[in-house]
Amino acid sequence: MYRLVPYLLLFVSTALLQLFLFDNLSISVYLNPLIYIAFVLLLPLDAPHVALLGAGLATGLVMDCAMGAAGLNTIATLPVAFLRPWIVGLAYNRDDAREGGIPSPERLGPWRFVNYLLLGVLLHHLIFFSLETLSLSHAWRLVLRIAASGVVSTAFVWLIARIFTAKFPVRV
Amino acid sequence: MHKLFEFIRSIYVVVLFVLLEVLAVSYYARSTSYTRARLLARSNHVVGGVHGVLAGVRRYFVLGRENRDLLERVAELTERLARYEEAETAAAFDERLAEIGESRLRVMNAAVIANTVNRAQNLIVLNRGRRDGVTDGMAVLSPSGAMVGYVADCTDRYAVAISVLNTSFRASGKLADSEYFGSIYWDGSDPHAVTMGELSKYAEPQPGQQVVTTGFSLYFPEGVTIGEVESAELNETRTAYTVRVRLAAHISQLSDVLLVENRDLYEIQDLLGSEKIQ
């Protein structure tokens, strides 16, 4: 509860950025960054599992309604929220993660942090774009979409994380 | 005991996750382009205003180009009018127009307030709705009259159109100056081109040839420009051409569109839905 307001702000700002900036960019079919996943990835390391799932559900539902995507965002966000403890575990020692704190380069180490973001974003984009396309007839195109959008999203999520954690002391 | 409690706790999150995911997947699986258009139309009550303001800002940057396009269109229509007037005296022309009475087509304009080209199911949000006379099934054309999409759903103030760049979009197109037709659809890759499938092998499409709509589609009037043939290849069984059609409308740069209503649409749909046919 003690970081409710900053997280509410993060939720609203990522949603607004996604809706009014990134959804309007329309640069290329291969570049469709979905940066709202930043909210789920930046939740505290010691957040209860069910809270992660709830946050994932809320993010997915809000984005679905606003983007007119009929469940696609929810389907892609829920697994990321559900698997987040394991994603953290892959990039970082799980015992240390229990101590809590916001995922950040200072907390996890710069490369581990990027790996963690990349894993989460790629999982999300893999589900999102595979279900959106629902065909393997242009598999290489799908892979390119996931990879290009994933890398760009990760870069933006990293930027959002830097801005978000800049306000807090490292260990809060 | 504590372990058992922990186990149940972890299981309950898993169960919750599976339940929510199954719900979301089943909702998504049952959804169609129309469901998505409806969802977007509803959410525009909340976000439509902001989209409108942003679209207004964007509009300033394309005013010059738009003005040029409009002038070109005015010049073209003036020229065509002049040709008609030369052919018959103005009086006879007016008389004949009065005979036709109300045209089958009703045209109005609308501004694009949100539009994407980078998804598989792209939708266009327009700033006109039911209270401006927009109805479902209206054709959406670019200012120069090229095919863009059709209105799938509208609320009082907004309308959502299924873009030609939507993998569920279907229309019927033919080569200009010939009667060979095929079905128009988008394969989800290039936002500047669509595919015309099942075009007869006798059609012999040439690069640069115009592709226009047929009158078979209920949404589009006959003869609306779709684009021009970019390339064509015979399918594996050598029975039909698959043609790549370069779109005449630049969907990603749309800021204003024309809405065209086929006044006969409801009558035709009623007839198609009549019990005698089913």
- List the structure tokens of A39: 């909210």
Lowest mean pLDDT among A52-56, B69-73, B95-99, B252-256: B95-99
Q: Which of B21, B40, B54 is opposite residue A24, by nearest beta carbon?
A: B54
**For chain A, what are the domain ranges?**
4-166
Query: Stretch A22-35: mean pLDDT, rounded?
Result: 83
Measured between beta carbons, which residues in chain B are less than 8 angstroms from residue A60? Answer: 24
CB A120 within 8 A of CB A37: yes
What confidence tens digit (pLDDT) does each residue in B203-237 have?
A: 888 899 999 998 887 788 888 899 999 999 988 88
A-B C-beta contacts closer than 8 Å? 96
What is the ipTM metric for this complex?
0.85
Q: What is the pLDDT of residue B41?
A: 81
Q: What is the pLDDT of residue B102?
A: 66
Q: What is the pLDDT of residue B89?
A: 63
Flag if B43 and A65 touch (Cβ within 8 Å). yes
Which residue in chain B is spatially nearest to A23 when comparing CA positions? Answer: B116
Cα(A43)–Cα(B254) distance, integer angstroms: 39
Query: At residue A171, does pLDDT exceed 60?
Result: no
- Taking the Cβ of residue A131 and every Cβ of chain B, the question of whether any pair is shorter than 8 Å is answered with yes
Q: In angstroms, what CA-CA distances link A19 with A41, A60, B54?
A: 19, 13, 11
Flag if A69 and B21 touch (Cβ within 8 Å). no
Q: Which fold has domain A4-166?
A: Arp2/3 complex 21 kDa subunit ARPC3 (1.10.1760)
Which residue in chain A is spatially nearest to B54 when comparing CA positions? Answer: A20
Of B129, B132, B136, nearest to B155 by C-alpha is B129
Query: Stretch A23-49: mean pLDDT, rounded?
Result: 87
Q: What is the pLDDT of residue B92?
A: 65
**A164 burial level (CB within 10 Å; 0-12, 13-18, 19+):** buried
Confidence of residue A172 (pLDDT cuts 50, 70, 90): very low
What confidence tens digit (pLDDT) does each residue in B14-54 have?
A: 889 999 999 998 888 888 877 788 878 877 777 777 888 88
Q: Which of A31, A132, A141 is opposite residue B189, by nearest beta carbon?
A: A141
Q: In angstroms, what CA-CA distances link A77 with A18, A30, A59, A82, B229?
A: 14, 20, 7, 9, 41
Q: What is the pLDDT of residue A75?
A: 94
Flag if B189 and A29 touch (Cβ within 8 Å). yes
What confidence tens digit (pLDDT) does each residue in B60-70 have?
A: 887 888 888 88
Give the number of other CB atoms < 10 A from CB of residue A111.
Answer: 10
What confidence tens digit (pLDDT) does each residue in B155-170 have?
A: 999 999 999 999 889 9
Q: Which fold has domain B42-278?
A: Thrombin, subunit H (2.40.10)
Query: At residue B278, does pLDDT exceed 80?
Result: no
Cα(A148)–Cα(A128) distance, integer angstroms: 14
- Taking the Cβ of residue A133 and every Cβ of chain B, the question of whether any pair is shorter than 8 Å is answered with yes
Flag if B123 and A29 touch (Cβ within 8 Å). no
Measured between beta carbons, which residues in chain A are less than 8 angstroms from residue B10? Answer: 49
